């Protein structure tokens, strides 16, 4: 089954404790992206990657890191989480081909930083 | 002002009603997406369109590029259609997706 998986689905942590949210897709997509969703603000892009070893900042990259060592995986790293990073996070992937930009979303990770 | 505006923000309907959700945008786009987010949080892509009209079951999406406006219609609405519907546009200049804040739809039996 074609899918994007994220782990963990729920996470409660404390300020400053490094964490990683994993994202994996099995559709051989070149493009992967991380979004955060906050009430009243819609989805905002954190980082994206056009292919292996190619990453770039989105609209709200501060406090986050990513890496793309393999095509299928795109982990999101919070080196020192803060309460303002409490949010619902989505990973998404798609082909880069201009005729097919449909995005596939992971199930979401609800993060609470206390 | 947001680059992607949706209306209404909230919508309630009785089962069987015809539903319309609107999306207006202010940037040049290469494509527009309609997404559905269920109460559990998962997001599913419903449509991607760059012109005209698409239909899938009871869902119809239209876009008017000149007016920078798109509509999502649901015919014969059902309680299982209850969800948040999100409009997103792919900016022609930056190639990034810009999201609206969503329309929360509740359909009652």
The DSSP output letter for B75 is: S
Handedness of CA A79, A82, A85, A88 (dihedral sign): positive
Phi/psi at A83 (nearest 5 deg)?
A: -55, -30
Closest C-alpha among B69, B2, B56 to residue B29: B69
Cα-flanking dihedrals φ and ψ of residue B79, to 5°? -50, -30
Q: How many CB pairs under 8 A join A and B?
A: 49
The per-residue pLDDT for A95 is 86
Q: Which of A59, A105, A107 to mutate to test the interface with B (most CBs of B within 10 A)?
A: A105
Tokens 């992206």 sit at which residue?
A: A33
| Pairing mode, strands A104-105 and B4-7 | unpaired
Rounded to a whole number, what is the distance in Å from the CA of B2 to chain A's nearest CA? 10
Confidence at residue A24, expressed as pLDDT on a 0 to 100 scale: 98
How confident is residue A100, by pLDDT bands cut at 50, 70 and 90? low
Q: Are A109 and A63 in contact (CB under 8 A)?
A: no
Region B85-100: mean pLDDT is: 89
Model pLDDT, residue A54: 92
Statement: residue A37 has pLDDT above 60:
yes
Pairing of strands B103-108, B10-14: parallel
Range B22-47 average pLDDT = 92
């Amino acid at each position: 089954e074609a899918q994007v998986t994220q782990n963990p689905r729920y996470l409660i942590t404390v300020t400053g404790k490094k964490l990683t949210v994993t994202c994996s897709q099995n559709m051989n997509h070149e493009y992967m992206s991380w979004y955060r969703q906050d009430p009243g603000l819609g989805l905002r892009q954190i980082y994206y990657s056009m292919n292996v070893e190619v990453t770039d900042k989105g609209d709200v990259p501060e406090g986050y890191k990513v890496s793309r060592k393999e095509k299928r995986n795109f982990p999101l790293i919070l080196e020192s989480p803060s309460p303002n990073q409490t949010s619902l996070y989505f990973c998404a992937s798609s082909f880069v081909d201009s005729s097919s930009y449909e995005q596939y979303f992971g199930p979401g990770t609800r993060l609470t930083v206390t | 002002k947001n680059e992607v505006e949706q209306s209404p923000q909230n919508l309630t309907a009785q089962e069987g009603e015809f539903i319309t959700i609107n999306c207006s945008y202010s940037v040049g786009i290469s494509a527009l997406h309609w997404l559905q987010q269920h109460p559990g949080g998962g997001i599913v892509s419903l449509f991607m369109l760059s012109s005209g009209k698409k239909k899938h079951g009871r869902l119809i999406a239209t876009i008017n590029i000149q007016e920078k406006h798109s509509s999502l219609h649901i015919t014969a609405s059902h309680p299982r259609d209850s969800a948040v519907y999100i409009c997103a546009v792919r900016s022609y200049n930056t190639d990034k997706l810009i999201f609206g804040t969503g329309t929360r739809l509740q359909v009652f039996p």
